[in-house]
Amino acid sequence: MRIATWNVNSLKARQEKVEWWLERAAPDVLLLQETKLADDAAPLMAFQMAGYALVHHGEGRWNGVAIASRVGVDGVVTNFGDGPVRSSAAGADAAADEEDFDPLHEARMVSAVCGGIRVVSLYAPNGRALDTPFYAGKLAWFARLRRWLDETQDPSGPLVLGGDLNVAPAPADVWDEARAHGATHVSGPERDAFRALLAWGLADVYRDRHDEPGRFTWWDYRAGNFQRNEGMRIDHLLASAPVAARVVAVEIDREARKGKPVPSDHAPLVVDLDEPGRAFDPGWAGADERFAARRAAQG
């Protein structure tokens, strides 16, 4: 069974790229973030034609999460079970403005049982900058996630949390901590919130199998950042012990961040359970040497 997560940075804009990647990697379950769609605009038919059922939890212009599964969908939960989220669709009232921020009223969590595993697609708040309501809201959202785990889940059961958590857990997960995104993503409280998920009983399945620094899932669109590998590992797959014990491979598909159709600024993260899935070249071979040469050439 192959489970993947990908922040697509607008499903409408990236639909062709997603369909390309479904054919390339053939995941059984794909967790999507930042779809930027209302539920009634979700491309259900396109996913059905590719062999996937799509569960979408969205609000309109901002945020939005989804699960695409070809191994069944059951027991759907949205927004931690806390009820409807706001609408940020065009024409919504002022309360839907992006600046009127409460992440617990936004479409950032959807969960379902797929192939016998409860999967959770998560899009954590960015945080923007320290000492702002956005940063405080990010920490509150992580606290709500941990409380949902405590109240509704069992670490001895099959569970995978995946998504854009907007946290680089350690120095090896960011190109330069001093230049990080508004000092967020690398702060102590954010990393503590990430570690609280691990302490609950989850494993960081990528880091458990890869100790190389510089293996990132996000690179800013600004010219040269991707080519110099100035990025962060902020997209994660966290698995409970019964699932982590089944892991046979995990990889970041750097190639999906390239070329046409127009890519997201994130790359998909993939984990294989029990046996390897469809083979693809993730594009890391020889990459470190190329990054060093580009940085040296630019001084």
Domain that holds residue 67: 2-297
pTM (predicted TM-score): 0.95
- Cβ(57)–Cβ(107) below 8 Å: yes
Instruction: Compute the distance between CA of residue 286 and CA of residue 147 in angstroms, rounded to an integer.
Output: 42
| CATH number (domain holding residue 104) | 3.60.10.10
Instruction: Compute the distance between CA of residue 230 and CA of residue 215 in angstroms, rounded to an integer.
Output: 10
Sheet holding 202-204, edge to edge: 74-78, 109-114, 117-123, 159-164, 235-240, 202-204
- Both tokens assigned to 7: 């922040």
- Both tokens assigned to 48: 């059905």
86-90, 102-106, 125-129: lowest mean pLDDT where? 86-90
Give the count of domains, the chain.
1
Tens of pLDDT along 251-288?
Answer: 999 999 999 888 999 999 999 999 999 999 999 988 77
pLDDT at residue 98 tops 70: no
Q: Pairing between strand 2-7 and 29-33? A: parallel
